[in-house]
Structure 1
Amino acid sequence: MTIAPDLPATDARIGTDCGCPEMRGLSRRGVLQGAGLAGLTYAVGSTVVSMSPAAAAGTASSMGTNTIVVLSLRGAADGLSLVVPHADPAYYASRPTIAIPKASLLAADSAFGLHPNLAPLLPLWNAGKLAAVHATGLAVANRSHFSAMEELEDADPGSKLRVGWLNRLLGTDDQTSPLQGLAVGDITTQFYGPQPVMSFSSLEEAEIAGDDKWDPTHQRVRSLHKAWDASKSPMAAAFRSTMAAVDGLAPAKAQADTSAAFPDTDLGRALASVSRTVRGKVGVGVVTVDQGDWDMHTDLGTLTRGRMIDNVTDLAGSIAAFFADLGPLADSVTLVTISEFGRRVVENSNAGLDHGWGNVMFLAGAGVKGGTYYGTWPGLKNSLDADLTVTTDYRSVLAEIVRTRTSASLATVFPGFTPTPIGAMRSS
């Protein structure tokens, strides 16, 4: 039995101020809303597990003890503000009010520099554990948020199968844990498919509905066991997997709650839950987290005000707190950022940026050859419809992480694709 609903017509991952007709009227919360998922679904409280009819089981894992965290910047972040091409004169000519002065940039080399509000990430950069790959994205421009998200997360152009690249990565495992794939917030397209995936809004809320202080003798859970334990139906299998996943989170919940050390934002709270789960050593191999509201058609702002500085401050503070909180386990966690597309080169009349093409991706943590900028710079044009041209297919970045941090087959995870070597990751 398979349920594969389309993405909802309204998607709570993107903000209300984007100016896009397809995005109007949506919540700005960013990461803690529900979404459709593929596979048989069993929902208990805020916990959701998607189950295939025959979930994998075994003793081997292509992930080993490594964890990959995919942080999606929903709404199409402006990579030219995050990593500024200060040596390209078209950048300053095309952005008379929102360009970031060269003198304010961090970690500047002869071509690029970081947005100054990324300062919390400088220790990672200087330690060689943070890198940026510029001019990345889809091979062909796609300026529709939902269509681009799905194309990006399927990572299998031309396929009629609705299976995300992370679900295919999980499919290379004989999984030892129902927590191998974890979405903190929405289960998005990259996890769609037959492999089981768990989702929760926060670690504390990952529980069986009704199994709380109002039912101290656990009668509700006993009733569920009575109804499903002896059944061979797919729903019974989903229930058992859900119970195993919730029970399996006990070591994570036993870890110290350090959320006060993170920004008090959706992203900060989500990464606090991820860190606590990883510290619990419960078998998580792949995690997805969203940060929404990057669709800045208006009021992108300057270095003293506007929407960009708020998002960049949240992004940098949350990632820095995450790696600090992991302690020694930071050596087993690799984080990558991704966004569905970038923004136009030229600012619009509302001091914002319209939908573009190329973008930047950050890599942080284990295996990263950091402290430098990667990619092939195509140059910018100061013309109305100019884009940052994509010179590195985003799949090449993801493939390098998969190749160096897992034993999975790239041909399975990215069918029909031959990656271009980037050199941003060390082999395990």
Structure 2
Amino acid sequence: MLSRRHFLRVAAAGAGAMLVAPQLVFASAATDRRFVFVIQRGAADGLNIVVPYADPAYTSLRGALAIDTDKAAKLDGTFALHPSLAQTAQLYRSGQALFVHAIASPYRDRSHFDGQNVLETGGRAPYQVKDGWLNRLVAQIGPTRGDSAIALAPTVPLALRGAAHATSYAPSALPAASDDLLTRVSALYESDVQLRGLWTSAMNARGLAGDASAKQDPASLGKLAADFLARPDGPRIAMIETGGWDTHSAQNARLGNQLKALDTMLAALRSGLGPVWDKTSVLVATEFGRTAAANGTGGTDHGQGSVAMLMGGAVAGGRVIADWPGLRNADLYEGRDLKPTASLDALIAGAAAESLGLDPQRTAAALFAEAGTTRPMTGLIRT
């Protein structure tokens, strides 16, 4: 039974509320390493995030959307980083970030819902697999402490749904509920077989967060994620959802704002983790990319290949990994999209395995069994 003293302690952070966006998901495991997956929902434009400025077709295809590389951080002789990712560029220069370009999941159509389903489940086709690869990753890292997963969101994202138990936490913008109210609700649920466990789990999650002033802006969100991950008894796996990447119109301003928010959140995460950052890897990926050419409304439409980012204190960074297909019309996928030449499944399997000290081949088989043979990328994390 949940005592009043214990209940008041874990409920001290106040009542939670639904997050609008972004959202976070956590899993607690018996390992000292951390792995964070950031999903960019809406199909992020990889060509304007990591800009192939040396490709002669880039500027003509993009027109007014082409990024001014005089203002961008040059990564090497071929690629530059969007100016809004200023702090990420610093990570790259310090060898703590790398980028994988022309990358995609096995999905080759252009539906957000189907593409996200394939990305999060690890299947080859939409709705082929019912649980998420991140949930299966939790099972790979051995015995867990307390709740096996926690979501800072109204619902657990598909990538973390599965056999592992999940609870939820959401920072609230509303006034904190009184101790008396929370105690009465606890007493009400105590005799309910179905709700008692859910309520207790939610209160334990809120007690772990321990932050009644948590907000939903990027810096606060990054700090809150760090507060969870830095705790010795806290989670070791996290998922952060970001939305708003579907830039059909007014792309330059919208993408710039999105990237600045992402950059701010990641910087706050790094700062909040302190020395734990050296044991942390953060993977950022989207369901698919966008068309190589600009459309008629100052944006781009649904495409194929995009870019993924991997950063952290343990990352063997300072490089762009790309089997670059080119942007000439003959080189494009179906004459319109950046052709995928790298497997997102392979990147996820390799990054997750090396980050958590797992065998890459076994991890790939566990996470992407339905996708066929996946050869994981290796050499991503320093030993």
TM-score (norm 2): 0.83
Residues 371, 32 of structure 1: alpha-carbon distance in 2 compared, 3 angstrom cutoff: closer
Report the CA distance between 1:249 and its aligned residue.
5.1
**Match for residue 224 of structure 1 among 169, 189, 194:** 189
Give the match for residue 353 of structure 1. 300
Letter in 2 for 1:181: A
Partner residue in 1 for 2:341: 391
Q: For 1:373 and 1:169, how far apart are their aligned partners in 2?
A: 26
Counterpart of 1:66 in structure 2 is 33
Partner of 1:275: 226
| 1:342 counterpart (279, 286, 289) | 289
Q: Does 1:330 align with 2:309?
A: no
Q: Residues 35-184 of structure 1: matches in 2 within 5 Å?
A: 61=29, 64-157=31-124, 160-184=128-152
Tell me how far apart the structure 2 counterparts of residues 79 and 378 of structure 1 sit (CA, whole Å): 14
**Structure 2: how far apart are the matches of 1:414 and 1:121?**
29
1: CA distance, partners of 2:186 / 2:176: 7
Structure 1: where are the runs of 5+ without partners? 1-27, 34-47, 51-59
Q: Which residue of 1 aligns with 2:366?
A: 412
The offset of 1:79, in angstroms, is 0.5
Can you list the C-alpha shifts for 1:271-293, whole angstroms capped at 9, x where unaligned?
A: 22211112333331221111111
The structure 1 residue matched to 2:207, chosen from 250, 274, 293, is 250
Name the CA distance, whole Å, in 1 between partners of 2:187 and 2:81: 55
Matched, 1:313 2:260: yes
The answer for unaligned runs of 5 or more in structure 2 is: 1-18
Residue 353 of structure 2 corresponds to residue 426 of structure 1: no
CA gap of 1:124–1:356, structure 2 versus 1, over 3 A, is: same
In 2, Cα distance between equivalents of 1:83 and 1:322: 22
- Counting only pairs closer than 5 Å after superposition, residues 181-220 of structure 1 correspond to structure 2 as 181-185=149-153, 186-202=155-171, 212-213=177-178, 215=180, 218-220=183-185
Q: Alpha-carbon deviations, 1:239-278, whole Å to 9, x = none?
A: 3365246336535417x97x6xxxx864433322211112
- Secondary structure of residue in 2 paired with 1:362: strand
CA-to-partner distance for each residue in 1:67-121, whole Å, 9 max, x for gaps? 2111111111100111000110111110111101232220331110101111122
Instruction: Indicate if the aligned counterparts of 1:176 and 1:283 stay in contact, CA closer than 8 A.
Output: no
Q: CA deviation at 1:177?
A: 2.8
Q: Is the 8 A contact 1:154 1:164 kept in 2?
A: yes
Cα distance change on mapping 1:179 and 1:81 into 2, 3 Å: farther
Code of the residue aligned with 1:213 in structure 2: it is: S
Distance 1:290 1:361, change over 3 A: same
User: Partner residue of 2:350?
Assistant: 400
Correspondent of 1:373 among 316, 320, 328: 320
State how far apart, in whole Å, the 2-side matches of 1:419 and 1:354 are. 30
Partner amino acid, structure 2, of 1:107: K
Q: Deviations over 1:382-428 (max 9, x none)?
A: 5894211111110111111222122363121221432243532234x
Q: What residue in structure 2 maps to residue 6 of structure 1?
A: none
Against the structure 1 CA distance between its residues 241 and 283, is the aligned structure 2 distance closer, same or farther, given a 3 Å change threshold? Answer: farther
Contact 1:248–1:282 at 8 Å: present in 2 too?
no
Whether the aligned pair in 1 keeps the contact of 2:107 and 2:118 (CA below 8 Å) is no
Identity of aligned residues (%): 27
8 Å CA contact 1:76, 1:343 repeated in 2: yes
- Which residue type is aligned with residue 250 of structure 1? G
- 8 Å CA contact 2:169–2:206 kept in 1: the answer is no
Residues matched between the structures, number? 354
Runs of 4+ off more than 3 Å: 158-161, 239-242, 248-252, 264-269, 382-385
Tell me the amino acid that sits aligned with residue 272 of structure 2.
Answer: D
- Greater alpha carbon shift after TM alignment, 129-138 vs 166-175: 166-175
Q: Describe the shift of the 1:339–1:161 C-alpha distance in structure 2 as closer, same or farther (beyond 3 A).
A: closer
Verify the 8 A CA contact 1:211 1:220 in the aligned structure 2.
no
* Alpha-carbon distance in 2 for matches of 1:29, 1:266: 11
Helix, strand or coil: the match of 1:368?
coil
What amino acid sits opposite 1:247 in the alignment? N
In structure 1, what is the Cα distance between the partners aligned to 2:262 and 2:182? 43
Structure 1 residues 31, 247: closer, same or farther in 2, change over 3 A?
same
CA offset at residue 142 of structure 1?
2.2
Opposite residue 88 of structure 2, the aligned amino acid is: L
Q: Is the 8 A contact 1:86 1:113 kept in 2?
A: yes
Distance verdict in 2 for CA 1:67–1:196, change over 3 Å: same
CA contact (8 A) 1:374 1:422 kept: no
Match of 1:30 in 2: 21
Structure 2: how far apart are the matches of 1:67 and 1:246?
24
Q: 2: CA distance between counterparts of 1:360 and 1:150?
A: 18
Aligned partners of 2:26 and 2:151 also within 8 Å: no
What secondary structure sits across from 1:135 in the alignment?
A: strand
**1:32 Cα deviation after fit:** 5.1
Question: Residues 211, 127 of structure 1: CA spacing in aligned structure 2 closer, same or farther, 3 A cutoff?
Answer: closer
Contact 1:249 1:282 in 2 (8 A): no
Aligned to 1:24: none
- Counterpart code for 1:413: L
Residue number in structure 2 paired with 1:10: none
Contact conserved, 2:91 with 2:97, CA < 8 A, in 1?
yes
